[in-house]
């Protein structure tokens, strides 16, 4: 009887250790995936911020160019007429 209980305890302990080992592997994998996801998210936010800054610079430059041409056309109406011909 003691041998049977001892054998059952060994099997139970073995199954528990196997389960815990698998769970540990799963948790480590989850943590690695989470770390990669956070890194990718940070890179995406950085890239979006850079693109947003570039877009703002382009829009300011475009507005400045538009204002320049508007002033030229208002001062020199013949330039405006020639540009329309082109």
What is the pLDDT at residue 73? 79
Number of structural domains the chain divides into: 1
Could you read off the pLDDT of 23-62 as tens digits, one per residue? 999 999 999 999 999 999 999 999 999 999 899 999 999 9
What's the predicted TM-score (pTM) here?
0.56
Which domain range does residue 11 map to?
2-85
CA-CA distance, 82 to 68, in Å (whole number)? 17
Q: Are 72 and 79 in contact (CB under 8 A)?
A: yes
What is the pLDDT at residue 84? 60
């Amino acid at each position: 009887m003691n041998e049977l209980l001892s054998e059952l305890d060994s099997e139970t302990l073995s199954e528990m250790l196997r389960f815990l080992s698998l769970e540990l592997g799963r948790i480590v994998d989850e943590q690695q995936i989470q770390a990669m996801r956070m890194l990718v998210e940070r890179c995406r936010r950085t890239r979006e911020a850079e693109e947003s800054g570039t877009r703002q610079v382009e829009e300011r430059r475009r507005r400045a160019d538009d204002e320049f041409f508007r002033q030229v056309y208002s001062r020199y109406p013949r330039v405006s007429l020639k540009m329309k011909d082109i």
